[in-house]
């Protein structure tokens, strides 16, 4: 039977197991939206396409399934760009469907025409412009395959309007043959043996764990590996939740705003076992002073990550879950009693800390309260800046896929739409967006989405009326010249929430914190809590730019 392109898209999405999409209609996607109208696929109508991309991203991170977003041609498509770049930098599987002007109109500067495959070229894992309706089903199937296999990432499909109207036979799944793409990676038994031997011989080993462990679904194997070897674990921002931070062998996060003990452990170690992490500059700071005594085992599915930033002595290119399964029975337990004592000493000597002051709300305290009241079982999203770093430092993630943050791109405005996506994917979870007053204003229109779809997300704004992280850098490195970081006028967030039909609560005193959080969690509506916090609180410890990670300010 012949179907129209729009019908093929909907059928293909259903066949791929998609039950929810995030999108915004428009002229070029009218035929598609007409078919979605009859489909069981749930459509979450965002208020700006950037919100659709971030929500799909948050959905993917919270559930492990690919997120799907839809936008119309031209401005609809360009509004997705930041969200696609965000997913690309953090290796998140999303499939973006964009409308396009009809094929004959392409290249004529038609109304709402934008070369979105061209624009997104450097920020997608792959992209397609569909030129033949007979290729449509295969293209969609390929897009989902590419987005979710190997190192995950965003795939964009540009859909000219006439393609969605034209007809073709529909068969699913179509035959796929990729001579040019294989997600299978290889490592040899010898490499496993050598890595296992190096671990057994090490005296000061550290596991350095990133988001790859979560996307590989390898948290269980990691736990087993650690239980056997007793090697301490530090995670990146994206690795939070891959290993419970409540575990005695957890060192929390490392890097620019990591714990001192994590940075010391890395810097004095003789063997770093990197798993699904990419030696990002926010982790290593100066590369020539990074972990000077350590050999490196690097486990990653992406061969291009091996040796990209640091020299790797034992590469293991493959799926982390499988690599760990192969390593666990072969690894010899290293003699590291003294090392663990040293690490414990650092933990005791240099704990994360902040000072409480009478009558002033401390942002760190807010994050700790959220952790305590949810027992660490919530799904956390963050914005970007100080709020994000305090969340990373003081919210001890326990499970994979419960700490969702824009790491690589550092996208302000990510947290609120990501919380929407996470709540859609995990309707029973308590979801908190730990936000700043600056970031949250970049996508605050999505409050309307949360209200319309009755998503009981909680937005905890750490409100200091500053662009806090930039202000902190200005304080420390630019002689306190606060150029354009004092927001002066921020909206009344309580009224803003109420204007959208959400609940707004303001908290100015310590004793109001718990009741406000309890009320928020109990509320079936979205809640905005405006925590009026100490204005000039800084995130410490901090590695100043260009310094080795052992040279930390404060804390």
Partner 1 sequence: MRHVLAVLVENQPGVLTRVAGLFSRRGYNIESLAVGQTHEPSISRMTIVVDGDDRVIEQVVKQLDKLIDVIDVQDITDVEYVDRELILIKVNAKPSVRGEIMQIVDIFRARIVDIGQRTLIIECTGDEGKIRAIEKSLKPFGILELVRTGKIAMVRGPKYEEDQKEDAV
Residues that bind partner 1 (CB under 8 A): 117-118, 121-122, 125-126, 129, 146, 178-181, 302-304, 307-308
Evaluated on CA atoms 212, 48, 415, 13, the torsion sign reads: negative
- DSSP H/E element including 463: strand 458-463
Q: How far is the CB of 286 from partner 1 (least distance, A)?
A: 18
Q: Please, which residue, 122 or 479, has the CB nearer to partner 1? A: 122
Out of 65, 112, 325, 525, which one is annotated catalytic?
A: 112
Q: Please, which residue, 304 or 333, has the CB nearer to partner 1? A: 304
* Token couple for 429: 């979870």
Q: How far is the CB of 317 from partner 1 (least distance, A)?
A: 10
Q: How far is the CB of 304 from partner 1 (least distance, A)?
A: 4
Q: How far is the CB of 178 from partner 1 (least distance, A)?
A: 8
465: left (phi over 0), alpha (psi -120 to 50) or beta: left
Q: How far is the CB of 380 from partner 1 (least distance, A)?
A: 31
Beta bridge mates, 459 = 433, 528
Q: Cα dist. 471→165, 323, 438, 478, 483 in Å?
A: 52, 43, 12, 9, 8
* Size of the chain, expressed as the number of residues it contains: 555
Out of 50, 89, 125, 161, which one is annotated catalytic?
A: 161
325 classed as catalytic:
no
Cis peptide leading into 541, omega within 30 of 0?
yes
Q: How far is the CB of 284 from partner 1 (least distance, A)?
A: 16
175 classed as catalytic:
no
Q: Please, which residue, 185 or 223, has the CB nearer to partner 1? A: 185
- Residue 277: closest CA among 320, 311, 244: 320
Q: Please, which residue, 17 or 122, has the CB nearer to partner 1? A: 122
Out of 111, 357, 375, 377, which one is annotated catalytic?
A: 111
Sequence-ordered list of residues with C-beta below 8 angstroms from that of 468, at least 6 positions apart, any chain: 385, 386, 387, 436, 438, 462, 485, 537
Rounded CA gap, 149 and 496, in Å?
41
Evaluated on CA atoms 81, 148, 46, 526, the torsion sign reads: negative
Neighbours of 332 (CB within 10 A): 14
Question: For strand 2-4 and strand 167-169, is the pairing parallel, antiparallel, or unpaired?
Answer: antiparallel
Q: Please, which residue, 121 or 499, has the CB nearer to partner 1? A: 121
- The angle formed by the CA atoms of residues 389, 395 and 399, to the nearest 5 degrees, is 120
Q: Please, which residue, 101 or 146, has the CB nearer to partner 1? A: 146
Residue with tokens 């994206």: 238
Q: How far is the CB of 125 from partner 1 (least distance, A)?
A: 7
Q: Please, which residue, 125 or 362, has the CB nearer to partner 1? A: 125
The DSSP-derived string for 115-141 is: -HHHHTGGG-SEEEE---GGGHHHHHH
Rounded CA gap, 399 and 29, in Å?
38
Q: Please, which residue, 288 or 511, has the CB nearer to partner 1? A: 288
Out of 442, 469, 513, 542, which one is annotated catalytic?
A: 469
112 classed as catalytic:
yes
Q: How far is the CB of 336 from partner 1 (least distance, A)?
A: 32
403 classed as catalytic:
no
Out of 7, 16, 22, 49, which one is annotated catalytic?
A: 49
Q: Where are the alpha helices (DSSP H) in 47-135?
A: 49-63, 75-79, 81-89, 116-119
477 classed as catalytic:
no
Active site residues: 49, 111-112, 161, 469
């Amino acid at each position: 039977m012949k179907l129209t392109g729009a019908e093929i898209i909907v059928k293909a999405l259903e066949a791929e197991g998609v039950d929810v999409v995030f999108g915004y209609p428009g002229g070029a996607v009218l035929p598609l939206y007409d078919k979605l109208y009859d489909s069981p696929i749930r459509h979450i109508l965002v208020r700006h396409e950037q919100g659709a991309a971030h929500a799909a991203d948050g959905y993917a991170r919270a559930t492990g399934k690919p997120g799907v977003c839809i936008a119309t041609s031209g401005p609809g498509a360009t509004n997705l760009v930041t969200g696609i770049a965000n997913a690309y930098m953090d290796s998140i599987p999303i499939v973006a469907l964009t409308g396009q002007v009809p094929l004959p109109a392409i290249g004529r500067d038609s109304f709402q025409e934008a070369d979105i495959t061209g624009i997104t070229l450097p920020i997608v894992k792959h992209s397609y412009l569909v030129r033949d309706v007979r290729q449509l089903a295969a293209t969609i199937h390929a897009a989902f395959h590419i987005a979710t296999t190997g190192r995950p990432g965003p795939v964009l499909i540009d859909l000219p309007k006439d393609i969605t109207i034209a007809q073709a036979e529909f068969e699913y799944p179509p035959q796929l043959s990729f001579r040019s793409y294989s997600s299978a990676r290889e490592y040899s038994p010898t490499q496993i043996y050598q890595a296992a031997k190096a671990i057994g011989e090490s005296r000061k080993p550290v596991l350095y764990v990133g988001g790859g462990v979560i996307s590989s679904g390898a948290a269980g194997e990691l736990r087993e590996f650690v239980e056997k070897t007793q090697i301490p674990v530090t995670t990146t921002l994206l690795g939070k939740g891959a290993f419970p931070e409540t575990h005695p062998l957890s060192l929390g996060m490392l890097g620019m705003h990591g714990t001192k003990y994590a940075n010391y452990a890395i810097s004095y170690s003789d063997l770093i076992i990197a798993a699904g992490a990419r030696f990002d500059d926010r982790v290593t700071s100066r590369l020539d002073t990074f972990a000077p005594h350590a050999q490196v085992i690097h486990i990653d599915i992406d061969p291009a990550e091996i040796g990209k930033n640091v020299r790797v002595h034992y590469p293991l290119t493959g799926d982390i879950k499988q690599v760990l399964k192969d390593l666990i029975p072969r690894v010899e337990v290293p003699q590291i009693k003294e090392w663990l004592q040293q690490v414990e000493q650092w933990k005791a000597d240099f704990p994360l800390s902040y000072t409480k002051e009478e009558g002033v709300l401390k942002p760190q305290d807010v994050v700790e309260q959220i952790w305590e009241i949810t027992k660490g079982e919530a799904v956390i999203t963050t914005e970007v800046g100080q709020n994000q770093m305090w969340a990373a430092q003081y919210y001890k993630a326990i499970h994979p896929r419960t700490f969702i943050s824009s790491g690589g791109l550092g996208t302000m405005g990510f947290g609120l739409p990501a919380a929407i996506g996470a709540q859609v994917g995990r309707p029973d979870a308590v979801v908190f967006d730990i936000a700043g007053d600056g970031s949250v204003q970049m996508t605050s229109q999505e409050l309307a989405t949360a209200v319309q779809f009755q998503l009981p997300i909680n937005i905890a704004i750490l409100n200091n009326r500053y662009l806090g992280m930039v202000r902190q850098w200005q304080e420390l490195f630019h002689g306190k010249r606060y150029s354009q970081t004092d927001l002066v006028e921020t909206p009344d967030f309580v009224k803003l929430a109420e204007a959208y039909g959400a609940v707004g609560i303001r908290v100015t005193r310590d004793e109001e914190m718990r009741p406000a959080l309890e009320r928020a969690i109990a509320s079936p509506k979205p809640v905005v809590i405006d925590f009026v916090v100490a204005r000039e609180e800084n995130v410490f410890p901090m590695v100043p730019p260009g310094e080795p990670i052992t040279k930390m300010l404060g804390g």
